[in-house]
Amino acid sequence: MSRTDAAVTAMVLIGLLAVAAAGEDAPVVAKITVSSSPAASTLGQRLVEGVMTFGGRTYLLTLRGVTGATSTIGSVSNLVRARDIEGVYRPADGELRNDAGVRLRFDPPLPLQAGELQIEIASRVYPKVSTGQGNSVE
């Protein structure tokens, strides 16, 4: 193999590695811990509580569509603002995604009813706001 052939082969390999790296998972920016039992049920739909840590803050979440008691931890990618976690998640490529592009991966996976998960922010838990201006979500 000549030096030119070796250089071309090396460049092709570098290009392939760059393409593969671009297709890797987005970095995890938040974690969700899901409680082991349903918090309540409304109209036949179970509500499960979760706690999300994002940007140094903790948020209480309500999850709808979980079929039974479970304990799991979720990794969150593509989350820019806390409120982007809200919405309906559907399975896609081994993870869950909402319309805002947020991606969730639970280990172990959540048992879902009809393959969908709905998440809402119930409140921001920590740090406590002492300014008297409320407990709003960004």
Alpha-carbon gap, residue 82 to 100, rounded angstroms = 11
Give the whole-number percent of the chain exceeding pLDDT 90: 46
Q: What is the pTM of this model?
A: 0.69
- pLDDT of 42-93, one tens digit each? 545 567 899 999 999 999 999 999 887 889 999 999 999 999 999 999 999 9
Under 8 Å between Cβ of 70 and 46: no
Residue 134 lies in a domain: no
Q: Please tell me the predicted confidence (pLDDT) of residue 10.
A: 43
Residue 20 lies in a domain: no
| Domain boundaries, position 88 | 28-126
1 assigned to some structural domain? no
When divided into structural domains, the chain yields a total of 1
